[in-house]
Amino acid sequence: MEIKRGDIVIRDMLSSDVADHVRWRTVDTEWMNWDAPWLQEPPASSSAVEHKMRMLAAAPPPAVRTRFEIATADGLHIGWMNSYPLDGVRDGPAIGIDIAEPRFRGEGRGEKAFSAFIHYLFSSGCTAVYTETWSGNFPMIRLAGKCGFEMLQRGHSDLEVRGERFDSLLFRVTRESFYEKQQFEPTPDLKRILNRCGWALVSLIGCAQAGAVLLALLAALLAPELLNSPVAALALSAITLYGFGLPVFSYVLRKVPAASPLSHERPGSMFLLKLLVLCLGMGYLGQLAGTAVIQFLEKLLHYSYQNPLDSAVQDVPAAAVFLFAVVLAPIFEELMFRRILLSRLIPFGEEFAISFSALAFGLFHCNIGQFFYAYTVGAILAYAAVSTGRLHICILLHACFNLVGSLLLPTLLRSGQSAALFASLSALALMGAALVLFTRGRSRIHLHPGTLPLSDGQKVLLTLRSPGIAAFLALSIGLAAWAFRG
């Protein structure tokens, strides 16, 4: 194995490295003044060192490497690194570095090698990495800081080096802290994941739109009266979206590995009640934001806006609205966005997965009037998915939101002044309660940073540079703009 970073290469040990190790352990031993000098023993014989190193070079390396040699880009061997377990620590190993040739220290070579090793360990599944040193080793302390390490433990004058007392130091770095300090170019497979998610969303909308046109043409030929039926129009939309779009959406994402939520807990009744209040209250706030944006655009563009949702449910019997909005939509949309899509995004971190899936859910509606509340509700439902790991909870919350918004609230608003006043006051109370819950609970939310070696900035750039995401944005925004007409 060989990993390159800049002008430094870390690689498996070669038989040609043995001579260097014999020299470093018997003649050029200056590096021992820095690497645990309180433990140094008298140098071993050349033959003993050579035998040990040849055995090490000949041994098959483990699947996850615990040792790397350090070389320059032109092949000059200058040092090594190793990892080892710490007592009582399970989330990752401790690592050390030795650049045995003093003339090659500085100019960032140690940082490149050390960070490449840490990046490799995180990519192999470690959730934390440790390093041990002593208070007299200033270069190592600086290197730890450059890689995002934070001090975890400090002894007090517990080490003796050449007659002086020093402190022992233990440092720890997490994925999040490391990738805030060190940037690595995303690999092609990571780029492919988000690109496929984008094209899957394009396929979902495109197939639904194409299927609707096809079925409308068939209906015009075989049963023209269906085109004048609001219920038939809703059925047509459901068939094309769930019958055509969903299978193609799943097919496009079939090669992207699905992951389960990285951490979840069994929800209590109070937690579910809070989620419901958040869905309803934040949904209403999103609806107000959408209305404000529509009014602004109407004045700015001198165009009128007709909400496609209002046209779709107008004159539709309550039973049909219940079937399509409260039963079918929650089941299939949660399957698409909070199971199929979200599971592909979990490795990027729960915060990213929630934000991406919520934005995709809002844009999927291709409707400015629905975008804002679909985004806010989508974020809450995605949080419910990653925090509980239970899709049926998302389905029930979604169904409750649609039941209130599609049936209960409109019925109250049409039932007289008193009922309308009650509905308005209830909506205001829910919005206020949602804001309080969100403000108080936000600091207590702890989301897993994910398992991929990317900073938050890299995730955003990776998303923006994805052709599939760009195509999805263009398609959904274009369809939303179509609703404006002079």
Break the chain into its structural domains and give their ranges. Answer: 2-181, 188-485
Tell me, what's the pLDDT at 486?
A: 46
Instruction: Render pLDDT for 105-119 as a digit per residue (tens, 0 to 9).
Output: 888 999 999 999 999
Decide if pLDDT at 228 tops 50.
yes
Q: What is the mean pLDDT of residues 286-294?
A: 92
Q: 36: alpha, beta or left, given left = phi > 0 and alpha = psi -120 to 50?
A: left
Tell me, what's the pLDDT at 485?
A: 60
Tell me, what's the pLDDT at 309?
A: 67
Q: What is the mean pLDDT of residues 354-360?
A: 97
- Band (124; pLDDT cuts 50, 70, 90): confident
Instruction: Render pLDDT for 39-64 as a digit per residue (tens, 0 to 9).
Output: 877 777 889 989 999 999 999 989 88
Decide if pLDDT at 102 tops 60.
yes
pTM, two decimal places? 0.76
Decide if pLDDT at 373 tops 50.
yes
The CATH superfamily assigned to 2-181 is Gcn5-related N-acetyltransferase (GNAT) (3.40.630.30)
Q: What is the mean pLDDT of residues 340-366?
A: 94
Q: What is the mean pLDDT of residues 384-409?
A: 94
Decide if pLDDT at 274 tops 50.
yes
Decide if pLDDT at 313 tops 70.
no
Decide if pLDDT at 484 tops 70.
no
- Band (216; pLDDT cuts 50, 70, 90): confident
- Band (394; pLDDT cuts 50, 70, 90): very high
- The mean pLDDT value of the chain amounts to 90
Tell me, what's the pLDDT at 45?
A: 86
